[in-house]
Structure 1
Amino acid sequence: MKQHIVAAAILAAFSASAAVAQQPTLYVGSYGGSTEKLFKEKIIPAFEAKEKVKVVYVSGNSTDTLAKLQAQKGKQELDVVLLDDGPMYQAVQFGFCDTLKDAPVYKELYPLARLTDKATAVGVVATGLAYNTEAFKKAGLPKPDSWEALADKKLKQKIAIPPISNTYGLQTLVMFAKLRKGSEQSIDPGFTALTKEVGPNVLAWEPSPGKMTELFQNGDISLAVWGSGRVQSLKDTGFPVEFVYPKEGAPALMIAACPVVQSDVPAQAQALVQYLLTPDVQAMLADSQGWGPVNAKTALDTRVSAKVPYGKAQIDKLLPTNWTLVNDKRAEWTNRWNRTVER
């Protein structure tokens, strides 16, 4: 009898370990910092319980994650990736993203969210102006309401703009091209404006969010080009900063997701992308990350809705970037920027 009990216990233990071994594992490549914290503490545990899958989070910025996809071409280890929209269009172009399977949640999204049939936005931030309200008041300057504020000689050496390697800097170049009768196809006027009109006012071409925060806090700058989410994070510390949607329009910067090709857990990869688009998760991403919801059914309280692009009227005003064209020209523009703008 005792032998039967021991045998049964061994069999039960073996079955349990076999079940764990059989549990599928999904690898998601996404941003570090507060995004990683939110995913690990709230989003992933709920998804794991729902889908009976183990999720491994691999953190890195968009460039890092895209580089991983390139390094692992043909034998991908990641199953889902989150990238800024520019790099995501590259990931799609390089063949790293699988086609999105149809699901009811996709019918709830704003039109700008569906980037291609292989990638969807899961959040959106606006690129606009950040200004120190106290510094402007002290200097007797009106609230900046236009991109033209960057060319105001009263702000000489009091401005910071991220470089062209950063989406905010790239979108500034495109905006000034459009303001000076050019476009993505005719970028020369943008370079001329940034070199001659805006450049003399720029103290730093700063890519780092941490350094940008320091420049504001130390009083080195009073105006910057930045994202709505970044500005809200600084404002949450008590610093007197406000985000401005310029009257000529604010470019959209989308945080995008795609299921990766050759995944060994394709159904779970599709399910995670869909899960990130559900109203509950969209509300979490808005509150914690400052990502505007792309699901029109997401309900936010006024505390959260005030700090993100929210609602059809505001989302419809955001300007799209022609990433297919921009990515094709980006290396050429970067060389020119380094020679002329940041010389």
Structure 2
Amino acid sequence: MFRSIRSIRSTQQPIALRRALFTATAVAALAACGMASAQTKTIYIGMNGGTMEKAYSQYVFPAFEKLYGAKVVVVPGTSSDILAKAQANKDKPQMHVMFLDDGIMVRAIGMGLCEKQRPSAALNDIYPAARFKDDMASGVSLGVTGLAYNAKMFKEKGWAAPTSWMDLADPKFKGKVVFQSVSASSFGLHGFLMFNRIQGGNDKNVEPGFKAWPTTIGPNVLEYIPSSAKISEMVQTNEAAIFPLTPTAVAALKVKGIPVEYANPKEGAVVLMVGQCVIANNSEPELAQKLAEFLLSPLAQANVLQYGSQIPTNPKAPAVGEGVGQVAAINGYMKTAITVDWESINANRPAWNARWNKTIER
């Protein structure tokens, strides 16, 4: 069971004032430390595209660039994409920092792709659960994988909001379940592992889940998708009724006018933390460490909460507007959230992936 995180204190500072404070802080630090470089250096950071990339690129990276006289360039992709790029260029890294979902981050650390994050006040401030073993990585945002549903379809059909992972097996959703591939997505893996637990399995034994899937959830699945990118379209075309997703992803879809809502399963959602690590042997180790430290700062995290619905790992990050409610909701979900055993999962995942692709997605 994941410990409930402490509530993040809200602040009523006007947005314009907080933006000014952020800029003033950066400029003051720049003047005091004399960190501006005569020659602009470029830092490449791998992370998910879309809402996350937009929030960081518009509201976080510019302050860092001004502070250190550097340029930050995003290399977009899923966690699996970013890991593959880092692994392929292990001897001569093309990126300096990378964001990965927690389970994939544990794999990256095991592969020797990350270097220890150096001590800092910001690192000390984040929740203990957001510090990976030996500080080889640190969490930049907290979340959970639960269920999301097509609110428009549910209203038209008169269906009640889902309450359990087993709702995915309800016959009324035949041909209306969209499920992310277990071999490519943390969302899909989380959903399968919770189903497996309900069937009597655990994170070391997935036999019950594989055995029961073809006669329960399997017949309801319209399509197995490699990522959640298609969900927006499939909701708008009324193809998708229910699917695993995070509150953050739901919030991003709602901003675009997509009629989706989040439902927290009674069995518990699954903790999904986005972690960052400084890539080992990168060409700008000092600047990369500074970026990793900067991304844990209260104001950096406050901005990605406000503009990207990313839940802070630093309890000192102020929350304003809708962010207050988003943080409060995550506090509630965390009370029953499940933390999976990534060491066991990663040890067995290649075999599970092969079995999934052969027997489920064939």
Q: Per the shorter chain, which TM-score range?
A: 0.7 to 0.9
Q: CA deviation at 1:168?
A: 0.9
1:131 corresponds in structure 2 to 149
Moved more, 157-166 or 208-217: 208-217
Q: CA deviation at 1:153?
A: 1.4
Cα distance in 1 between the residues matched to 2:203 and 2:330: 28
Relative CO higher for 1 or 2, CA cutoff 8 Å, sep ≥ 6?
2
Deviation sequence 1:191-234 (CA, Å, 0-9, x none)? 12322211111111123434211211111222111222222222
Residue 131 of structure 2 aligns with an amino acid whose one-letter code is: R
Report if aligned partners of 1:228, 1:308 keep a CA contact under 8 Å in 2: no
Instruction: Give 3-state SS (helix, strand or coil) of 2:277's partner.
Output: strand
Report if aligned partners of 1:160, 1:203 keep a CA contact under 8 Å in 2: yes
1:112 corresponds in structure 2 to 129
1:174 corresponds in structure 2 to 193
1:238 corresponds in structure 2 to 257
Going from structure 1 to structure 2, the CA distance change for 1:298 and 1:105 (only over 3 Å counts) comes to same
1:303 corresponds in structure 2 to 322
1:200 corresponds in structure 2 to 219
Cα distance in 2 between the residues matched to 1:154 and 1:241: 18
Please give the root-mean-square deviation of Cα atoms over the aligned residues, in Å: 2.2
Report if aligned partners of 1:296, 1:312 keep a CA contact under 8 Å in 2: no
Report if aligned partners of 1:217, 1:239 keep a CA contact under 8 Å in 2: yes
Report if aligned partners of 2:97, 2:279 keep a CA contact under 8 Å in 1: yes
1:269 corresponds in structure 2 to 288
Residue 101 of structure 2 aligns with an amino acid whose one-letter code is: D
1:15 corresponds in structure 2 to none
Cα distance in 2 between the residues matched to 1:242 and 1:180: 26
1:143 corresponds in structure 2 to 161
Report if aligned partners of 2:236, 2:258 keep a CA contact under 8 Å in 1: yes
Cα distance in 2 between the residues matched to 1:291 and 1:319: 19
Instruction: Give 3-state SS (helix, strand or coil) of 1:209's partner.
Output: coil
Q: CA deviation at 1:97?
A: 0.6
Report if aligned partners of 2:176, 2:239 keep a CA contact under 8 Å in 1: yes
Going from structure 1 to structure 2, the CA distance change for 1:232 and 1:240 (only over 3 Å counts) comes to same
Q: Does residue 1:42 correspond to 2:56, yes or no?
A: no
Q: CA deviation at 1:340?
A: 2.3
1:53 corresponds in structure 2 to 70
Deviation sequence 1:268-325 (CA, Å, 0-9, x none)? 2222112111121112222333221111222223412434675655445432222222
Deviation sequence 1:322-343 (CA, Å, 0-9, x none)? 2222122111111211222223
Q: CA deviation at 1:64?
A: 2.6
Report if aligned partners of 2:82, 2:100 keep a CA contact under 8 Å in 1: yes
Cα distance in 2 between the residues matched to 1:54 and 1:89: 28
Give percent identity, aligned residues only: 37
Q: Does residue 1:31 correspond to 2:52, yes or no?
A: no
Report if aligned partners of 1:293, 1:310 keep a CA contact under 8 Å in 2: no
Cα distance in 2 between the residues matched to 1:33 and 1:209: 11
Report if aligned partners of 1:133, 1:240 keep a CA contact under 8 Å in 2: yes
Q: CA deviation at 1:83?
A: 1.6
Residue 167 of structure 2 aligns with an amino acid whose one-letter code is: A
Report if aligned partners of 1:250, 1:317 keep a CA contact under 8 Å in 2: yes
Correspondent of 2:171 among 140, 153, 156? 153
Residue 29 of structure 1 aligns with an amino acid whose one-letter code is: G
Q: Quick check: which has more Rg, 1 or 2? A: 1
Report if aligned partners of 2:141, 2:274 keep a CA contact under 8 Å in 1: yes
Going from structure 1 to structure 2, the CA distance change for 1:315 and 1:270 (only over 3 Å counts) comes to farther
Correspondent of 1:259 among 268, 275, 278? 278
1:338 corresponds in structure 2 to 357
1:72 corresponds in structure 2 to 89
Going from structure 1 to structure 2, the CA distance change for 1:308 and 1:52 (only over 3 Å counts) comes to same
Correspondent of 2:111 among 82, 88, 94? 94
Going from structure 1 to structure 2, the CA distance change for 1:132 and 1:73 (only over 3 Å counts) comes to closer
Q: Normalising by structure 2, report the TM-score.
A: 0.82
How many residue pairs get aligned? The number is 325
Report if aligned partners of 2:214, 2:360 keep a CA contact under 8 Å in 1: yes
Q: Does residue 1:292 correspond to 2:326, yes or no?
A: no
Deviation sequence 1:79-118 (CA, Å, 0-9, x none)? 2111222221121111111111111222322232112220
Structure 1, unaligned stretches of length 5 or more? 1-18
2:3 corresponds in structure 1 to none
